[in-house]
Amino acid sequence: MPSRPTAVSDTPECWPPLPLAEWKDTCATLHMWTQIVGKTRMALTPLINHWWNVPLYVSSRGLTTSSIPYGERVFEIEFDFLSHILDIRCSDGGSRQLLLASRSVADFYAEYMAALKSLAIEVHIWKMPVEVADPIPFDQDRKHAAYDREYAQRFWRVLVSATDVLQVFRSGFIGKTSPVHFFWGSFDLALTRFSGRRAPERNDADPVLRKIMREAYSHEVISAGWWPGAGEQDAAFYAYAAPVPEGLAQQQVRPEQAFYNQGLGEFLLNYEDVRRAASPTQALMEFLESTYAAAASLAKWDRAALERLPSSGQSSAERPSPTEGAA
């Protein structure tokens, strides 16, 4: 019997409810905290194409920077959403822990920088948040100060499940692909596939955004991922192409609840529709495969060269779902 290609279960424990209205204040605070930690990694690591030195990674307990070289030492910073601490660990045995609890971004920033300094780690980051409306410098932000343990843990659990399905989806592509990683600027989990061709240069009006986008979208991409939502839009899985091929908005994708959001220029599948599906893993894989197939075909990607076809000769869009063939 074939082995199960994903370890994620379809049980409700793996796909907990996460309505944005119930934790929007915690979400906004976490967004700022992850930017502070993420900017530390960015400041101390060399630029990797498409900002791949910037994101955090989903771990068995939360979100981690992974190891960061620092002189003769290496250190790592992890948001632990099980014990609710920020854990700073050094290769020489030094460590510091910050409690994750309701407190302002300004207080978190001050304690965090003091903890790094006590470990003889000197780093200077730009204190202004990015990719948010009405940014407040970290050391002045007393507006965002919420932390709900239950919802922080649910957030992590969704990231774990989504990451596993995205990894299975990633395995079907043999062209250039990003890791599955968490961008703290846009506060979303992302996986990006590349055609190998350069894209027209971005010219966004805002100079900071222009710098970000020119590096991120220097080549043709089809991206997919998950984000907890914003405003009136609840948590959702998304998929988009950049540049956008003509006719993409009119393509039919699966499952039936998926739709094209004209304002965002992306396909969306609400997280609630996934978690309520008979098989969340299958529903999500259908969304990932069908949106990719629609965009890649319209953009005339060399799919035969870029995709790993199963031995049966099926296209990637016809590949069995993550739960099919389970023992």
Q: Of 122, 140, 158, which residue sits at a domain end?
A: 140
pLDDT at residue 321, as a whole number:
39
pLDDT at residue 310, as a whole number:
61
**Three-state SS at 305:** helix
Q: What whole-number distance in Å separates Cα of residue 221 and Cα of residue 173?
A: 13
**109 within a domain of the structure (yes/no):** yes
pLDDT at residue 323, as a whole number:
36
pLDDT at residue 193, as a whole number:
98
pLDDT at residue 312, as a whole number:
37
pLDDT at residue 129, as a whole number:
97
**74 within a domain of the structure (yes/no):** yes
Q: What whole-number distance in Å separates Cα of residue 132 and Cα of residue 138?
A: 13
**6 within a domain of the structure (yes/no):** no
Domain identity same for 187 and 43? no
Domain identity same for 158 and 53? no
pLDDT at residue 88, as a whole number:
98
Domain identity same for 133 and 153? no
pLDDT at residue 314, as a whole number:
42
Q: Of 102, 117, 140, which residue sits at a domain end?
A: 140
Where residue 84 falls (left for φ over 0; alpha for ψ -120 to 50; beta otherwise) is left
Domain ranges, residue 250: 149-318
pLDDT at residue 209, as a whole number:
84
Domain identity same for 164 and 129? no
Q: Of 108, 140, 172, which residue sits at a domain end?
A: 140
Q: Mean pLDDT for each 10-residue chunk of the chain (327 residues)?
A: 59 97 98 98 95 96 98 98 98 98 98 98 97 96 98 98 96 96 98 96 88 91 97 96 97 98 96 97 97 98 90 41 34
Domain identity same for 78 and 220? no
**5 within a domain of the structure (yes/no):** no
Structural domain count, the chain? 2
Q: How many CB atoms lie within 10 A of CB 88?
A: 23
User: First vs last Cα of the chain: how many Å apart?
Assistant: 6
Domain identity same for 135 and 160? no
Domain identity same for 74 and 153? no
Cis upstream peptide for 228 (omega within 30°)? no
Domain identity same for 75 and 166? no
Q: Beta-strand (E) ranges in the chain?
A: 57-58, 62-64, 68-70, 73-80, 85-90, 95-99, 181-183, 188-198, 219-227, 236-242, 259-261, 266-270
**234 within a domain of the structure (yes/no):** yes
Domain identity same for 193 and 312? yes
pLDDT at residue 253, as a whole number:
98
**327 within a domain of the structure (yes/no):** no
pLDDT at residue 177, as a whole number:
97
Of 247, 235, 232, 258, nearest to 297 (Cα)? 247
